[in-house]
Structure 1
């Protein structure tokens, strides 16, 4: 039974243990009686003393991949990995990046084309596919093989094969092969990044050879209305490889800005990324509660230890 499997997955993923019979049955009864939604069940677990204790202890429940299927708003099937304590846990709770989610859904209409670059397990790609409908299209880019396979499952099980194209590759400034680097002990499976060069190594590193292409080398039908760009510091490479598409369609872009990642992957600081954005004819705006905020006049203010998402607005609309 799907609902029972989801409840069991929540116990394992959030509380880090097998469900007890009484707890499982209580959740089933509450869900069946309409007294509790899945989102409320996940929220209750995340707010429980048991969960807080596990986080205080620094517990890592799964050190190896543990795929499970969850539901988004009780209708969309999403395959996630319980070993991922970041993106997948937020998806399991039903509240992953709420401001970014509101922004993307509010800027898409039926028939639109959306690019999800750095799609991970597909929280945005699957929700966008529902939003753009059968006349729209989503291009999802995810180079990590195991993660892309989960997204492929979600695409097929939601019946979105005709409206989502999964690209199992990295986007960059040139075509070829590159390496995707991660840490053996990381619980953030979305934290994998592109290698800066052949000499880019570190202790405890995992390395996966992946294909890389420029966005301009791919067949992407016009017009693209919205792009989500989150590639762990490789954002400048992606934009440089998409100059023709950006000039053609002038899409709005939701971009992550992460100073340490930019320096690590591109040897570029936040100011340099801001200069590239300006050169491409875009202005940087803050993202505030799911809407476009004020223009960012001093990009250096975005340079901190944590990533921040901003909205890139074209200075001139496509003509």
Structure 2
């Protein structure tokens, strides 16, 4: 895998990133990344796969990978981009994408870039700090007409949930507390039922959760019109898929791209 990454970087002239990869293998430290941190402030702007992204230099997750190498999950991303291009060739009309767990927009921007003006990307992200950067990255690329940012979570029921915050920003997890009496708090999207009452702490934040099918119905999107579902939800995949039965049962062309977590 390191050899493939090194070859990919060399072919694109990313010799600084290649140097960083070598130092990781030799010293378990990415000296190229460390040098960038010394030169940047809290945010760094980078060109990634042809679009622009603002990245949090304090993030040890996807931002660190993008600052170090200019790409993330390159082998699977290459396949994903090929599938998006094939989809664009096969479908003559509009294209709808669900990006579940959109983080700061790496995949949402990619889908909008590859699919072009026919695309509508619903970038769904529950973490407030991610939503702020996600909206900034959408505006940075003038993609407001292609990407809508939604601060909520998708799951198997319509409830108030909580987001458990991890040290690495791309490892937050959604959790639905036990059923509790209704209470005031964040508005739930599109008629979700308040059947749980999360208790935010320093390590959790409240987040509205809705099924994917209800999310789409609230936006007048027919299940068969959804062409792409991309998700990275840190072990919550089964719940998200259970709420997308109408989409999975529909007859339209559908690209599924997601990580499994055990």
TM-score by length of 1: 0.59
- The 5 A counterparts of 1:209-228 are 209-218=206-215, 219=219, 220-221=221-222, 222-228=224-230
Note the residue ranges of structure 2 that are not aligned, 5 or more in a row: 1-10, 89-93, 180-197
For 1:236, which of 235, 238, 252 is the aligned residue?
A: 238
Structure 1 pair 96–247 and aligned structure 2 pair: CA distance change class (3 A) = same
Q: Retained in 1: the 8 A contact 2:46–2:53?
A: yes
Per the TM alignment, residue 50 of structure 1 is displaced from its structure 2 partner at its CA by 11
- Alpha-carbon contact 1:91-1:123 (below 8 Å) kept: no
* Structure 1 residue runs without a partner (length 5+): 1-35, 260-319
| Separation in 2, partners of 1:227, 1:175 | 19
Structure 1 or 2, whichever has the larger Rg, is 1
Please say if residues 113 and 132 of structure 1, whose CA atoms lie closer than 8 Å, have aligned partners that are also in contact.
Answer: no
Matched, 1:252 2:232: no
| Greater shift in the superposed pair: 47-56 or 168-177 | 47-56
Residue 13 of structure 1 corresponds to none
Relative to structure 1, the CA distance from residue 66 to residue 177 in structure 2 (aligned partners, 3 Å threshold; closer, same or farther) is farther
Structure 1 residues 178-217: aligned runs within 5 Å: 178-183=161-166, 186=167, 188-198=168-178, 206-217=203-214
Please give the alpha-carbon distance, in whole angstroms, between the structure 2 residues aligned to 1:189 and 1:167.
18
Give deviations 1:112-154, integer Å, cap 9, x for gaps: 3222111111111111111110112211111101011111111
Greater relative contact order, per chain length (Cα 8 Å cut-off, separation 6+):
2
User: SS of 2:165's equivalent?
Assistant: strand
Whole-angstrom distance in 2 between the partners of 1:251 and 1:238: 16
- Taking structure 1 as reference, are residues 51 and 164 closer, same or farther at Cα in structure 2, changes over 3 Å only? farther
d(CA) in 2 for partners of 1:139 and 1:100?
21
1:79 matched to 2:46? The reply is: no
CA displacement at 1:55 relative to structure 2: 6.5
Asked if 2 retains the 8 angstrom alpha-carbon contact of 1:70 and 1:78, the reply is yes
Rate the CA distance shift 1:153–1:216 in 2: closer, same or farther, 3 A.
same
Q: CA deviation at 1:96?
A: 0.4
Aligned to 1:89: 64
Q: Label 1:206 to 1:162 Cα distance change in 2 as closer, same or farther (>3 A).
A: same
CA RMSD of aligned residues (A): 3.1
